[in-house]
Amino acid sequence: MLKTRFTELFGVEHPIAQGGMQWVGRAELVAGVANGGGLGFITALTQPTPEDLAKEIKKCQGLTDKPFGVNLTILPALKPPPYEEYRQAIIDSGVKIVETAGNNPADHIVEFKKAGVKVIHKCTAVRHALKAEKMGADAISIDGFECAGHPGEDDIPGLILIPAAADKVKIPMIASGGFGDARGLVAALALGAEGINMGTRFMATAESPIHQKVKEQIVENDERATDLIFRTLRNTARVARNEVSQEVVAIERKGNAKIEDIAHLVAGARGKVVYEEGDPNYGIWSAGMVQGLIHDVPTCGELISRIVTEAEAIIASRLGGMTGKASAQAAE
């Protein structure tokens, strides 16, 4: 058992979260994580309407009696989704934990807190973590440059970002980006976090609702198999390297690229087809550098229990051995 302020705050067994994932964070995966003792998040905007989100939450409630949450990603958009309605659907469904991400969560935090919902805000900079703490967030998920999705524009890897945040943030904080095994969990705890958040690693699990061929591609890929797109638009995204991402990077490298120049390549609908039909080169899909540490497709329960068991062994034997504590305990 690894008991931390994160497990205490959210009432889960293990200090492992599955962050929101567009097209992937559906009821089956989230319930798999919850039943494995972790904290999973349904991705609100994967559901076309707030009514569909309410149905997905209900489905998840039917698959687990353990705590789970919903991710509400606040995107900069010309035509934003009806965020207030999604928020209300979450509150009305009785979900008590929300992961906010993508932008300033101020208005949402106020409303969620009124409804007794705990908020974990995911961000990529110490200054944003401190701001969310001031706004009343209950916890922080700090996402390093290694992560899949949006790493921000500061390019600070977890090895620096996590302890830099831990030095200043007072509320419980978990580390995100690049985590996939027990070594990462122990490192995160050593760096001052209270647990880890994983995205890419949970894509390659039995319960993950994506095509088997995409899971196999993640297993096959190594740590170099990502690209950073939208750098020139200052909206960087780390995605799985494929023919389409390479084309986008090539267009951006020419300079002065506008969204219109790449829109046909990066359409979210094409990424959705990748997950549904299993052609990894059909469109843009998110994955992180941690692909280099993913070698199998276990169930969520197997994965979580493996990470925790091995983490305990690393702490007790490997690290304990270095301080002489492991041998002292064995001799007792």
Ligand X SMILES: Cc1cc2nc3c(=O)[nH]c(=O)nc-3n(C[C@H](O)[C@H](O)[C@H](O)COP(=O)(O)O)c2cc1C
Query: CB of 233: closest distance to ligand X in angstroms?
Result: 18
Query: CB of 283: closest distance to ligand X in angstroms?
Result: 12
Gyration radius of the chain's alpha carbons: 19
Identify which of residues 292 and 320 has a Cβ nearer to ligand X in the complex.
Answer: 292
Helices (H), the chain: 5-10, 27-35, 50-63, 83-92, 106-114, 126-135, 158-166, 182-190, 200-203, 212-220, 243-253, 259-266, 268-277, 300-313, 320-323, 325-331
Query: CB of 202: closest distance to ligand X in angstroms?
Result: 8
Answer for the pair 129, 141: CB distance below 8 angstroms, yes or no: no
Identify which of residues 39 and 198 has a Cβ nearer to ligand X in the complex.
Answer: 198
Answer for the pair 154, 120: CB distance below 8 angstroms, yes or no: no
Which residues contact ligand X (rule: CB under 6 A)? 19-22, 24, 43, 71, 73, 101-102, 122, 143, 146-149, 176-179, 197-201, 203, 286-288, 290
Query: CB of 147: closest distance to ligand X in angstroms?
Result: 3
Identify which of residues 107 and 261 has a Cβ nearer to ligand X in the complex.
Answer: 107
Cα distances (angstroms) measured from residue 324 to each of 1, 80, 152, 181: 22, 57, 41, 25
DSSP assignments along 167-209, one per residue = TT--S-EEEESS--SHHHHHHHHHTT-S-EEESHHHHTSTT--
* Burial degree of 4 (CB within 10 A; 0-12, 13-18, 19+): middle
Identify which of residues 75 and 319 has a Cβ nearer to ligand X in the complex.
Answer: 75
Identify which of residues 261 and 277 has a Cβ nearer to ligand X in the complex.
Answer: 277
Shortest-Cβ-distance residue relative to ligand X: 199
Query: CB of 234: closest distance to ligand X in angstroms?
Result: 18
Query: CB of 232: closest distance to ligand X in angstroms?
Result: 21
Identify which of residues 192 and 323 has a Cβ nearer to ligand X in the complex.
Answer: 192
